[in-house]
Amino acid sequence: MSSEDLTHKYTIDRPYFHQLKAQSLYYRDKVLSLLPQHLERLLKAPVSFDCANQARFALATVLLLYNLELYAAKATQRRLHIQGARAIIQWKLQAIGRHLPPDVADNFLRYEYYFTAVFNGLTTFDATYDVIDDIPIHDKIAVFGDFVRIMHSVTRAERRKFSGSSDIETTRVEDIVDEIETARGRALQLNQIMRFQYPDARHDFEHLTHMYYHASLIYSHRVLSDFGSSNDLIRASRDAILEHLSHLMERAYFAHDLVWPLFVCGTECRSPDQQDAIERALLGVIRLSGSLERRRVLSFLRMFWRLEGDDRPANWIAVARSRAADCSFVII
């Protein structure tokens, strides 16, 4: 990952570019060749503390491979890694979990899978939306875990709604809004007890929490509310995100957490000034925290902004679904 990350910081004419690219490909291929052997030995081994450790190593490796593919924008490989991580978690819970309960390392890796799978699922419009649900969310591991769980619930409801399923329990927007309120309250409480390296970071984290709160409201209303009935609420949340963005004192503190609220806000921006604010903020995130698939996220927003008049879809999800082959980016 270090080699691949550096290749994205150098231009192709720099002396170390080709060497770093070769190293990245070599180590990735090496991992891909060793991982099946490791998993085969793991499946045959008796249950033990060492077996549990080896399962953690395998899960961490698959999650790292997923993150590596974010640089290459290879959606198919990413989905394979997500499925692999899911299989390892299920096997470990069934084969080892009864004898060796999960510890903090297991919970961390399971949440990393959950976070990754939920965000991957936002722009994956398969017939089935299959993400493991019973993932423990601990404050010290997942500060925004409640918001991610809400995002998962809303995405699952959207997929079921689109498929026309009638034999399912309806997800009420009022219940989701209550959950979003609770999530904001918990995050703000954590903000008071967390230790930050810089005094300004606590101030910025509070504004970031409000941005996630309003992004969650926008996403939930766009999926669950009747068309037109929640437009005023959505516009108010859009304006609130832009306001909180303007109050961040040092965006470098949480640049990697800004992509989702900026994207959701951007899909609701109609005026050139609003769109320019979102574009500049996303370009700032790329400069501070790397590209990953953020340029594709910005390209989608630019395309979405060009849609005009009565032909503009009700929300970005309809556009992304209609262009699924081009919209398989990850909004992180």
Same domain, 223 and 291: yes
* Residue 166 pLDDT class (50, 70, 90 cuts): low
- Indicate whether 310 pLDDT > 60: no
The token pair at 234 is 């959505």
Same domain, 218 and 314: yes
State pLDDT tens for residues 212-250: 999 999 999 999 998 778 999 999 999 999 999 999 999
Q: Tell me how many domains the chain contains.
A: 2
Mean of pLDDT values over 102-117: 90
∠ CA 70-194-68, nearest 5°, is 10
Same domain, 320 and 199: yes
For residue 216, the model assigns a pLDDT of 98
Last residue of a domain, one of 122, 142, 162: 142
Last residue of a domain, one of 113, 142, 171: 142
Alpha helix ranges (H) inside 73-103: 75-95
For residue 312, the model assigns a pLDDT of 64
Last residue of a domain, one of 103, 118, 142: 142
For residue 314, the model assigns a pLDDT of 64
Q: Which residues of 261-293 are buried (b: 16+ CB within 10 A; e: fewer)?
A: bbbbbbbbbeeeebbebbbebbeebbeebebbb
Q: Is 146 helix (H, G, I), strand (E, B) or coil?
A: helix
> Which structural domain range is residue 44 located in?
1-142
The token pair at 306 is 């060009």
